[in-house]
A and B are shown apart, each in its own frame.
Chain A
Amino acid sequence: MAFVVSAIVGLLLLAAVGVAASRIPFARGIVYGGTGALCTLLALWSVLSLAGGAGTEALALPLGLPWMTAHVRADALSAVFLLVVNLTGATASLFGWGYERAHHDARSGPVLPLYPLFIAGMNAVLIADDAFGFLVAWEFMSLASWLLVLSTHRDPDTPRAARIYLIMASFGTACLLLAFGLLAGAHGDYRFDAIRSHAPEGWAATLGVLLVLVGAGSKAGLVPLHVWLPLAHPAAPSHVSALMSGVMTKVAVYAITRVLFDLIGEPLWWWGGVMLVLGAVTAIMGVLYAMLQDDLKRLLAYSTVENIGVIVAALGMALVFKAAHVPVIAALAMSAALLHVINHSLFKSLLFYGSGAVLSAVHSRDLGRMGGLIHRMPVTAVFVLVGAAAISALPPLNGFVGEWLLFQAILNGPALPQWSLKILIAVIGAALALAAALAAACFVRMYGTAFLGRPRGREAEEAREVNAAMRLGMAVPAVLCVLLGVLPTPLLRLFEPATRLMVDAGPFDDRAYQPWFWLAPTSAIGNSYNGLVMALVIGVLSMVLVVAIHRWASAKVRRSIPWGCGYDGLDPLAVTQYTASSFGQPIRRAFGSTVFRARDHVDMPQPGDTRPARFHVTWTDPAWHAIFTPLVRLVARLADLVNRLQFLTIRRYLMLMFFALVVLLVMVAVTQR
């Protein structure tokens, strides 16, 4: 425990080095190297702690007001999320070091002092043991990431993104503040231990839970509170985007898990129902949004929204099973959620690194300017392919294992007592399956337009492979994606203390003995999956196939020009090539026309007119359209009303004060009774 605290202090010191970066030689190396080393140590610490059964360690630090001490505590759940945060923190430091060297922009704002601060803030949230420390760390994390977003303030889109992010972050913190107020109740004791022992009941608990869902959900990106996320995440430098998307959203998931599974005690079943619905809607909307994007990083950010939806749905499933007192199945759903948390942090950071590599080579985030990068950036292309395949839940990679566990939990729906929940879970299953299939389509579109085909611009044509640090930063998560897909059971074993803490059961409780390479968790449905055997069989079969074909069939290859639809050879400007937006058209028509009111506009000149034909797509964001635009209008109108108060006579001011006083007195009189 003391180690985690000192590591956080170390990160703060590194931030100080970052502040004085201009005067210290090799400051960039020191900051990124130090952060990477500290993160690696913290990740190792959490693995060791989990492997050793993850006992709970608490510490009171003499910080803050004299009569209040800051409480920190690390249990199994904290350890799981510490592992997630610091694993990505380590790879992000490695990648970021290379990225800043390759892509340094002198006019951009400072990143060095804020980067360790951001990671320190996230770590601090995970070990906070009182509401006060939790909120301070939460704000710390939010503000550090906000400043990191602002570091690209020269980009035309950044100021708006930062403004919306700030508003949403403040809103989220305000909700969490109210929520903790409700949870602490009349005792006014904000230590988590006190909340745990006097968990509120009735409407206070419900309101608190809903406020946590809104407050942490806005940070995680639950629809419709996701609006800031696809603006802010892509605006930051790529390694910070990876941290924000891959990890900071997970800290929000941690907050939800901590409150709903730990602090609140016995949950009500319909809270889980709310989470299921929110999660499924978020998953489907997120992936549909992603399908519409032409900006590589924004596409990834929307895909984060989708994955958060999947995680929240899995947590909701764990909650309903916990409320129904079926802990083994709750443990299954919880394992699915935790596995998806680490899976998503791996492949999403990998994909964001890939986007950073592409950005530093092509100098654009627009998919319409890329193409054919597989030839010019072969190593990056392989790693991004692994990430895209993993996020599309293809076996034998890690994304599939998470999906498999989740569907096993869904198949246990009949174990629930409520009719409405049984049917809801079936519907949620369909929605999540739809989201997964759409995600595959989305990443085929992303990879196909960025890395395959022919270059769509001079910069894509002249792109160069990135430096070794960036390649290594991508290699680590890519290897882990494969490893966790092939051997998920050891990791689930490692996470078992956390599921036991949250839902009082482990995923393997009902099976006496499990070999480490076999995944067969549930009791109700005796299914199993073996990634290792599957990978081996796939390997053997394809080797047999390759050998057989090259032995007995023709092995000759001739290169030639493909049919170019009337051009002599292929058209030189690659205009007949499918673009991202044309690839998305069938799905846009099938789903987008109702959800987003997406319309294709074709401006076709008359015969004889020499101006070029134009095509563009318009769509409206339902979240803005239905919620935020009216809200902004309402705020503006209220502000107008309040504005009038500035121009009153003194007598009127006195009158206002007098009425306020009388109303207060009346309230006191009423409540006194």
Chain B
Amino acid sequence: MTLLTSVFLQIVQMLVVLALAPGLTGFVRWVKARLLARRGPSILQPYRDILRLLKKEAVLAHNASWLFRTTPYIMFTAIWLAAGLIPTFSTQLALAPTADLIALIALLGSARFFLALAGMDVGTSFGGIGSSREMMIAALAEPAMLMVVFSVAILVRSTSLAEIADFMMSGAVGLRISLALALISLVMVAIAENARIPVDNPATHLELTMVHEAMVLEYSGRHLALIEGASMLKLLLYAALIGCVFAPWGMAGPGADSAAVIRGLATFVLKLGVAGVLLAVFETSIAKMRVFRVGEFLGGALLLSLLGAIFLYVSRGV
């Protein structure tokens, strides 16, 4: 596999995640609507929303600073790059050696850091509520995710996602307690980080319950389009991450031909579909929890992932 191919695959990867992200969100909304016996908007609706927002003028508060205006770009870039680092259809990506799983988590952390700052920029109370809750959630979700990485990385002897996917595809792992615990923990983190029920409700604008929406309340026009796009990318990123680590089948490995790459793309879309259906079913069957229960929920995720790391030593090998 030459450098040129991997650069090409990397660019394709960046474009694929960008193209599919609104589709995934639209799909989840559609399935949810169907489960609630509504007809639901078309799957293409998020694309239309983003285009509409891009065409509108941006309205800024009088005292909004440059940080407020640059944050959407920083956030989108960081999440886009992070999504581009996860092997979705092929493990041969040019950027794979520059950043591993730890860097990926830190990239997501940068996006969150700037968004939380932007939430506090205008000085309204909603932005502050959102930022402070977001940082509380992140304070537990991020270490939980790092511990998941820890379990997986010790098993695979690598934190590089490409190597993890190759290893998992080889089938040398088998069923492991650690992996099961890591999977549960990662799913909990993904739910919290993507502001899904039961942690946050992506469809609400009720002040007492919202987290993510409160932070971005002051955004409009192209800035809002970028932020919405980044959130959609983030949902896709987590689905791709779970797929890459725990269900990497169908991905084009080293030295694969173009047919394998196309097969990989098809399986990736399929995986996203499965993830979307599961998420929709989960969200419709559960109630939102109080904000102060979120700490326990994510503390549970952190402890589960820690337990997973500890159990690595009990099972054979390591």
Is there a contact between chains A and B in the complex with CB atoms less than 8 Å apart?
A: yes
Could you say which residues of chain B place their CB within 8 Å of the CB of A608?
none
Q: Is the CB of B154 within 8 A of A560?
A: no
* Alpha-carbon distance between A389 and B107 when the two chains are bound, in angstroms: 12
Candidates A437, A449, A546, A561; contact of B143 at CB < 8 Å: A437
CB distance from A198 to the nearest CB of B (A): 39
Decide if A395 is an interface residue (CB 8 Å cutoff). yes
Could you say which residues of chain A place their CB within 8 Å of the CB of B138?
437, 440-441
CB distance from A438 to the nearest CB of B (A): 5
Decide if B213 is an interface residue (CB 8 Å cutoff). no
CB distance from B137 to the nearest CB of A (A): 8
* Alpha-carbon distance between A403 and B110 when the two chains are bound, in angstroms: 14
CB distance from B56 to the nearest CB of A (A): 6
CB distance from A602 to the nearest CB of B (A): 16
Q: 1/0 per residue B280-304: CB within 8 Å of A?
A: 0000000000011001000100100
Candidates B65, B80, B127, B146; contact of A541 at CB < 8 Å: B80
Measured CB to CB, the nearest residue on chain B to A375 is: B65
Candidates B112, B123, B126; contact of A570 at CB < 8 Å: B123
Decide if B103 is an interface residue (CB 8 Å cutoff). yes
Q: Is the CB of B54 within 8 A of A434?
A: no
Measured CB to CB, the nearest residue on chain A to B133 is: A586
Measured CB to CB, the nearest residue on chain A to B132 is: A583
Q: Is the CB of A542 within 8 A of B74?
A: yes
Q: Is the CB of B81 within 8 A of A570?
A: no
Q: Is the CB of A426 within 8 A of B310?
A: yes
Candidates B147, B157, B160, B295; contact of A433 at CB < 8 Å: B147
Decide if B8 is an interface residue (CB 8 Å cutoff). no
Could you say which residues of chain B place their CB within 8 Å of the CB of A403?
102, 106
Decide if B46 is an interface residue (CB 8 Å cutoff). no
Decide if A327 is an interface residue (CB 8 Å cutoff). no
Could you say which residues of chain A place their CB within 8 Å of the CB of B221?
554, 556
Q: Is the CB of A537 within 8 A of B113?
A: no
Query: Which residues between 130 and 144 of chain B lie within 8 Å of chain A, taking CB atoms?
Result: 131-133, 135-136, 138-143
* Alpha-carbon distance between A92 and B192 when the two chains are bound, in angstroms: 43
**Quick check: which of B114-122, B169-177, B262-270 contacts chain A, the rest being far away?**
B114-122
Q: Is the CB of A529 within 8 A of B99?
A: yes
Q: Is the CB of B153 within 8 A of A549?
A: no
**Quick check: which of A164-172, A467-475, A574-582 contacts chain B, the rest being far away?**
A574-582
What is the size, in residues, of chain B's interface with A at 8 Å between Cβ atoms?
A: 86
CB distance from B138 to the nearest CB of A (A): 6
* Alpha-carbon distance between A564 and B124 when the two chains are bound, in angstroms: 7
Decide if A638 is an interface residue (CB 8 Å cutoff). no
What is the size, in residues, of chain A's interface with B at 8 Å between Cβ atoms?
A: 85
CB distance from A133 to the nearest CB of B (A): 42
Q: 1/0 per residue A522-546: CB within 8 Å of B?
A: 0011111110011001100110011
Q: Is the CB of A528 within 8 A of B98?
A: yes
Q: 1/0 per residue B49-72: CB within 8 Å of A?
A: 000001111111111111100000
Decide if A557 is an interface residue (CB 8 Å cutoff). yes
Q: Is the CB of A448 within 8 A of B150?
A: no
* Alpha-carbon distance between A436 and B159 when the two chains are bound, in angstroms: 19
Q: Is the CB of A411 within 8 A of B153?
A: yes
Q: Is the CB of A559 within 8 A of B62?
A: yes
* Alpha-carbon distance between A233 and B24 when the two chains are bound, in angstroms: 52
Q: Evaluate whether A562 and B61 lie within 8 angstroms (CB atoms) in the complex, with A411-B153, A583-B128, A583-B132 already known.
A: yes
Decide if A558 is an interface residue (CB 8 Å cutoff). yes
* Alpha-carbon distance between A403 and B262 when the two chains are bound, in angstroms: 38
Task: Give me the interface of B with A, judged by CB distance under 8 Å.
Answer: 54-67, 73-74, 76-78, 80-81, 95, 97-100, 102-103, 106-107, 109-110, 112-113, 116-117, 119-129, 131-133, 135-136, 138-143, 146-147, 150, 153-154, 157-160, 163, 217-218, 221-222, 225-226, 291-292, 295, 299, 302, 305-306, 309-310, 312-313, 318
| 9 nearest A-B pairs in the assembled complex, by CB-CB distance | A578-B128, A453-B123, A433-B143, A448-B120, A586-B136, A556-B57, A441-B135, A590-B295, A454-B123
Known pairs A524-B157, A560-B60, A590-B136. 12 more at Cβ < 8 A?
Answer: A404-B102, A430-B146, A437-B142, A453-B128, A528-B160, A529-B103, A554-B222, A557-B60, A558-B60, A562-B122, A583-B128, A586-B135
Give 30 pairs: A residue, B residue, CB < 8 Å, sorted on A: A407-B102, A410-B150, A411-B150, A422-B313, A429-B146, A434-B143, A437-B141, A447-B117, A448-B120, A453-B121, A524-B157, A529-B99, A529-B100, A530-B97, A530-B99, A538-B78, A538-B81, A549-B73, A554-B57, A555-B222, A557-B60, A558-B60, A561-B62, A578-B127, A578-B128, A578-B129, A586-B132, A586-B135, A590-B136, A590-B139
